[in-house]
Structure 1
Amino acid sequence: MNPLAQYDTVIVGGGPAGLTAALALTRYRHRTLVAESPAPPRNQASRGVHGMIGLEGATPAEVRARAWAELDGYGLAERRDVTAEDVTRAEEGGFHVTLGDDATVWSRTVLLATGVLDIHPAGVEGFAECWGRTVIHCPFCVGWENADRTWALVADDPDYAATAAGKFGAWSADVIAIAPPGMDRAAETRQDLRAAGSDLIEGEIARLHHRDGDLHTVEMADGTRVERQTLLWSLPQQQVPLVTRLTETLGLALDEDGFVTVGTDNQTSVPGLYAAGDLTTQWEQGAMTAAGAGAAAADAIHFAHSR
């Protein structure tokens, strides 16, 4: 590939946000490059995408394959299975995007659609096997698949732990909270939960007992065992290395929780650099939301190019 290959937009990330943006930009007749990391995607543990009309239950791999079959029909979007290592300003305007295969391309605009990285708990035996199946991060995503089971909400915040008493009743009539030792207002939270027919268990989770990813018992570090079939566990998250680097080199702004700030046009604090999807929001993560953000970003990019 010519190291000076030029594109209208380089999209970093080939998930729902990036691919939806690529399709929209293609239909605007933009020449687009999608740099998709060869590493396993964050949603690889998902057994199916839900809430996207026409794609109900399709695996993430099936969604990607379908998207690229559609994009290839237009011939304007190029896919490269490579990590984007850096984005720098070009003297002539636009950006240089350095790729993991040592190629550098030029683009008028760049869209970050990298998603985020989930930080899995260290030393919890059985977590990986249950993750995405019976240890879930989002009830709206896979609550249906875990309906009518016994749940536990893993929380280190007393206000969030208190929601176990009723917030998830659409999926389970038996939800308790599990909190680390020493959580603030633990006694008060336990009393409130018990009054509502729930409970609070304090302790460090050491092991998840399961059958092929089907959880049945949570074992605490002190040996206590709690029979639960589903854990709702929202993991801490961090930005991918590229995004962290851009905060230092381009001054890319993050909010107080570490998520990329964008305006109503999905443009970041860096003119010409856009962002869409999970890297911009902590509480509205999901395929449908990300796809909508990708479409909105594509519209904004097109209209910016048209000026």
Structure 2
Amino acid sequence: MKNFDVIIIGGSYAGLSAGMSLGRSLRNTLIIDSGKPCNRQTPHSHNFITHDGKTPKEISDLARKQVEAYETVKFHEGSVVKLRNTNEGFEAETSDGEKFYAKKLVLASGVKDIMPAIPGFAECWGISVLHCPYCHGYEVKNEVTGILSDGDMGYDFSKLVYNLTKDLFLLSNGPSVLSKDQKDKLAQNNISLVEDEVEKIEHENGNIKKIVFKSGKEISLKALYAKIPFGQNINVSDIGCELTEQGFIKVDFMQKTNIPGVFACGDNTTMMRSVASATAQGNFTGAVVNKELSEEKF
């Protein structure tokens, strides 16, 4: 079978949650997934009630098992390389040359993080180099912590992390663009601004030992927060979907994109990147898609 009511691109938390919602609504649904979630290095997931402390894989494996129980939901392993608009809806072509068709499309494809060219950074990403204090901050509370950022983003992030530890460094990775008032405020709160360029992160199995700077300076840290660039995992412009200025897929309050019949949910739509948020968005999106299908057929 290659024709479905709905194709969901991405089989992680948002995609599986949308799939369960649609499966329970008796919608013939296909979930296409590459099996490479962005949090695959993360040892534990937090701030998701009933699942706090489990590995991301534990949560997704259980979710997939539960979604597979619904006969109307099918899975295809692979990456979507091309999306096309058709007279009846949409076509998704995968890396193995398969083509699937559906009336509705749910983009739950997540994002890909673009790592800086700092040796050791990628190996520590999701383990001791962290993106979210809500997901991981409690586990490194009151520890010596760094923030790799600068400007308004670095300054605002410092306020958030300062609540979790008072032993804090802001690493601007070169001359800082912070204003004098911002620098003074950091100093008042004993947050050390380090303007040296980072040379490498020394670590053991992804756990930071120290930050080494090009000046020869070194700082021992337990954790480093970092805001890094990202890109969409699939080319949504193929079917005309718009992106926000920040690079997220633009959706309305019903998770609808600017293209009728195309919805998006999860990390590809919001800066609030968490398992709990993605799961909630997916559940809601599945319900909205089912409602639209019901109204069209009634």
Unaligned ranges ≥5, structure 2? none
- Which residue does the alignment assign to 1:7? 4
Residues 1-307 of structure 1 aligned to structure 2 (within 5 Å) = 5-38=2-35, 40-91=36-87, 93-122=88-117, 124-157=118-151, 159-163=152-156, 166-185=159-178, 187-240=180-233, 242=234, 244=235, 246-247=236-237, 249-282=238-271, 284-307=272-295
User: For 1:252-301, what per-residue CA distance to the aligned partner results, in whole angstroms no more than 9, with x for missing partners?
Assistant: 1111111110011111011101100111112x111111111111111110
Per the TM alignment, residue 214 of structure 1 is displaced from its structure 2 partner at its CA by 2.4
- In 2, the alpha carbon distance for the partners of 1:76 and 1:13 equals 17
User: For 1:83-115, what per-residue CA distance to the aligned partner results, in whole angstroms no more than 9, with x for missing partners?
Assistant: 112221222x21111122211111010100011
Per the TM alignment, residue 150 of structure 1 is displaced from its structure 2 partner at its CA by 0.5
3-state SS of 1:44 partner: coil
TM-score by length of 2: 0.93
Identity of counterpart residues, as a percentage? 26
- In 1, the alpha carbon distance for the partners of 2:220 and 2:182 equals 21
Give the aligned residue type for 2:6.
Answer: T
The structure-2 alpha-carbon separation of the partners of 1:220 and 1:188, relative to structure 1 and needing over 3 Å to count, comes to farther
Give the aligned residue type for 1:286.
Answer: S
- In 1, the alpha carbon distance for the partners of 2:162 and 2:176 equals 24
3-state SS of 1:133 partner: coil
Give the total of aligned pairs: 295
- In 2, the alpha carbon distance for the partners of 1:99 and 1:129 equals 29
Given that residues 145 and 222 in structure 2 are in contact (C-alpha distance below 8 angstroms), is that contact kept between their aligned partners in structure 1? yes
- In 1, the alpha carbon distance for the partners of 2:79 and 2:153 equals 36
Per the TM alignment, residue 9 of structure 1 is displaced from its structure 2 partner at its CA by 0.5
Give the aligned residue type for 1:229.
Answer: K
TM-score by length of 1: 0.91
Unaligned ranges ≥5, structure 1? none
Per the TM alignment, residue 188 of structure 1 is displaced from its structure 2 partner at its CA by 4.5
Kindly report the root-mean-square deviation, in angstroms, between the aligned alpha carbons of the 2 structures: 1.7
Given that residues 164 and 177 in structure 1 are in contact (C-alpha distance below 8 angstroms), is that contact kept between their aligned partners in structure 2? no
Give the aligned residue type for 2:3.
Answer: Q
Per the TM alignment, residue 164 of structure 1 is displaced from its structure 2 partner at its CA by 5.9
3-state SS of 1:42 partner: coil
- In 2, the alpha carbon distance for the partners of 1:191 and 1:230 equals 24
Given that residues 7 and 106 in structure 1 are in contact (C-alpha distance below 8 angstroms), is that contact kept between their aligned partners in structure 2? yes
